Amino acid sequence: MSRYYLTTPIYYVNSTPHIGHAYTTIAADILVRHHKQRGDETFFLTGTDENASKNVRAAEQAGVDPKTFVDRLVEEDWRPLPARVGANPDFFIRTTDEGHHRFVQEFVQRIYDNGHIYEDTYAGLYCVSCEEFKTEEELTADGLCPEHGTRPEWIEERNWFFRLSAFQEQLLRLYDEQPEFVQPVHRYNEARSFIEGGLRDFSLSRAGQPWGVPVPWDPEQVVYVWVDALINYLSALTYARPGEDLRDEYWPVARHLIGKDILRFHCVFWPALLLAAGYEVPKQIFVHGWLLFGDRKISKSSGNVIEPLELVDLYGVDALRFYVARVTRFGQDGNASVDDFHERYERELGNDLGNLLSRTTALIARFRDGRLAEAPWDSPFRSELAKLAHEVPALLDAWDLSGALDAVWGVVRSLNRYVEERAPWQLAKDESKAEELDRTLYDLADGLRVVAVALASYLPETADRILAALGQPDDLVWQGVAYGRTVPAEGIAAAEPLFPRVELETAVA
């Protein structure tokens, strides 16, 4: 038995969830569900990043205290997000949790005790939207933040600094020894060359701000929000299950899924902080691209937000999950649009998969009175399904969510060709071809059963419906991805469409 621990970034609460956030959460959920099917013991973490200084300002504007402000946003918008997109995290961490605060203090105290923190004055620019200190070179020619188009603030304050520069050699060694530490490989190269370029110490605390985790040896200061946020991946394991400490079991197999905008924090700062505190680094970090609308990142500030929950209401949760894996080669940027979403829903889900089930069940109902006989034979699907059983786990181990989905779709297409080639409606006209008809119907049903199991991590609701329509037990273990495991069934009726038509005009409105 293996263990699998996967995290999403923790989301800033000051915007409402959009398809960009749903993207990471869904992708992570697909991977975790898949590992469960393989019998792994899994832990899936997501949550919210609440100690940002921008929350203090937003709360002031709303006329409430920061805790009341974040509580409302988390409970209304963020905590419901995973369930709304069909994701099942094991724990939803909030960085305002008492257990998190306690652990952050312990963690930074260890770094302090290990001699990696010193006091100095910070004088420079800070972008509140990024929650990041900026150098002149990182800004546009007019001195604006390239991501937010806002002018960073000049800050001059006494801070506690983390000696990141001292970790350059150790980080380079880590990258050499673990060439798969960061994936895909171009992101590995990006992180590695950033380290090679020389590392600057950074402020690990902020002064004059009451919101956040107090620095244990200097409670006038709070821990810099990015440091506090990164620690969530470890702190959660200490209090997610009351009375249990999951660190021994899960930290050695920790994997982080993140977007490309937060690469440096995760691939450079985080391993250095862990080494400084005396912890192992995570096993792997996968960096995905952005979903673009036109060619701009979907974000609240650019006003081009696709509201994921609206798409879910119209098309169903599985349609959104499918799109996440389909819109682009996972890892790269992808262009999202309602038109593209709609087109794939109709063509791929509706025609390729939905019609295949409708047809298969209708044929069984019509020519065999709803009875599916056990008729495995020396079918071409034996080898095709055996190949799928190996291919999908290998691709998903390499984080290739779109490649694995393509592999399953290859089988869906084969099954569609098979109906046409074997023409069961012709076979049914000839009594001497009864066995051939049984075999054909069996292959179609068995192929669909396998497709349901293989797709279950992507399309959990659809998988259940396919199995039920074929009178098969709701068994999703990965060993089921093999030819000939379909059991005889009775009472099969022409299935309702899996993906009913949606008017595009309704979606766009």
Query: For binding to ligand MSP (CB under 6 A), which residues are involved?
Result: 9-12, 20-21, 23-24, 49, 229-230, 232, 258-259, 261-262, 290-291, 297-299
Phi (first) and psi of residue 6, to 5 degrees: -125, 140
Q: How far is the CB of 236 from ligand MSP (least distance, A)?
A: 11
Q: What residue number has its CB nearest to ligand MSP?
A: 259
Catalytic-residue membership of 288: no
The angle subtended at Cα 392 by Cα 29 and Cα 401, nearest 5°, is 45
300 is a catalytic site residue: yes
Query: Which residue number, 21 or 101, has a Cβ lying nearer to ligand MSP?
Result: 21
Instruction: Indicate the residue type of 274.
Output: L
C-beta separation of 464 from 474 below 8 A: yes
β-pair partners for 125 = 134, 154
* Residue 212 DSSP one-character state: S
Whether 433 is catalytic: no
Nearest to 436 by CA among 385, 379, 386: 379
Q: How far is the CB of 447 from ligand MSP (least distance, A)?
A: 34
Query: Could you give the CA distance from residue 245 to residue 237 in angstroms, rounded to a whole number?
Result: 6
- Residue 453, token pair as written in the block: 């199991």
Q: Which H or E run contains 229?
A: helix 225-230
Handedness of CA 67, 69, 75, 80 (dihedral sign): negative
Half-sphere exposure of 267 (CA within 13 A, CB side): 33
Shortest distance in whole angstroms from residue 24 CB to ligand MSP? 5
| Lateral strand order in the sheet of 202-203 | 132-134, 117-127, 153-162, 202-203
Can you state the angle between helices 19-37 and 317-326, rounded to 10 degrees?
Answer: 90
Q: Which of 248, 278, 241, 286 is closest to 106 using CA atoms?
A: 278
Nearest residue (CB) to ligand MSP, 10 versus 87? 10
Catalytic residue among 21, 34, 101, 134: 21
Are the C-beta atoms of 330 and 400 separated by less than 8 Å?
A: yes
Kindly name the residue from 54, 148, 260, 433 that is annotated as catalytic.
148
Q: How far is the CB of 339 from ligand MSP (least distance, A)?
A: 18
Q: How far is the CB of 55 from ligand MSP (least distance, A)?
A: 11
- CB-based burial, 213-246: b 16+ in 10 Å, e otherwise: bbbeeeeebbbbbbbbbbbbbbbbbbbbeeeeeb
Q: Compute the least distance from the CB of residue 410 to ligand MSP, in Å.
A: 27
Say if residues 131 and 137 touch (Cβ distance below 8 Å): no
Q: How far is the CB of 266 from ligand MSP (least distance, A)?
A: 7
* Closest CB to ligand MSP among residues 290, 442: 290
Choice between 231 and 454, CB closer to ligand MSP: 231
* Active-site option among 116, 256, 266, 297: 297
Catalytic-residue membership of 54: no
Catalytic residue, chosen from 100, 101, 134, 145, is 145
CB of 259 or CB of 350, closer to ligand MSP = 259
Rounded to the nearest whole angstrom, what is the least distance from the CB of residue 12 to ligand MSP in the complex?
4
* Closer residue to ligand MSP in complex, CB, 328/440: 328
> Minimum distance from CB of 242 to ligand MSP (Å)?
23
Least Cβ distance, residue 477 to ligand MSP (angstroms): 32
Exactly one of 101, 127, 256, 266 is catalytic; name it: 127
Q: Which residues pair with 297 in a beta bridge?
A: 292
Residue 119, strand partner residues: 160
DSSP 8-state code for residue 150: -
Please identify, using beta-carbon distances, which residue of 294 and 500 lies nearer to ligand MSP.
294
**Burial class of residue 73 (count of CB atoms within 10 Å of its CB; 0-12, 13-18, 19+):** buried
The DSSP 8-state label assigned to residue 221 in this structure reads: E
The phi and psi torsions of 146 (rounded to 5 degrees) equal: -65, -30
Residue placing its CB nearer to ligand MSP in the complex, 3 or 260:
260
Examine the residue annotation and report whether 21 is marked as an active-site residue of this protein.
yes
In the set 130, 256, 288, 342, the catalytic residue is 130
* β-pairing verdict for 296-297 and 291-293: antiparallel
Q: Which two tokens stand for residue 404?
A: 């694995």
- Give the HSE-up count for residue 130: Cα atoms under 13 Å, Cβ half-sphere: 23
- Any idea which residue has 């609460």 for tokens? 13
Which residue lies nearer to ligand MSP by CB, 235 or 361?
Answer: 235
Residue closer to ligand MSP, measured from CB, 88 or 335: 335
Give dist(CA 340, CA 322) in Å, integer.
12
Count of H helices and E strands in the chain? 22, 16
The set of catalytic residues is: 18, 21, 127, 130, 145, 148, 297, 300
